[in-house]
Amino acid sequence: MTYPWFIAGASLVVALVAWSRARRSAQRLAQLSEMYWELKYQLGELRLRLQRIEGEQPSVASQTAPPPPGEGFVPLTSLKR
């Protein structure tokens, strides 16, 4: 009779340990993701600063707007509505 209770208690302890580890991992992932985006932003800022110091203009590709979309296929069923 005590054997099923022992198994249930051990399962509960294992589940609580796994839950706490998953929670810590999720917090760490959020922290690393925030650090990644912050570093990516700082890298862009440093590139612009370096280009200004060297006297270069920012790249033309980053300043030009994308071309307008071309004509696309419009099915006749959408025009009948």
CA separation for the pair 20, 40 (Å, rounded): 30
Flag whether pLDDT at 78 surpasses 80. Answer: no
CA 30 to chain CA mean position, Å: 9
What is the per-residue pLDDT for 55? 86
Q: What is the pTM of this model?
A: 0.53
User: Tens digits of per-residue pLDDT, 2-45?
Assistant: 899 999 999 999 999 999 999 999 999 999 999 999 999 999 99
CA separation for the pair 61, 64 (Å, rounded): 6
User: Tens digits of per-residue pLDDT, 48-63?
Assistant: 999 999 987 655 555 6
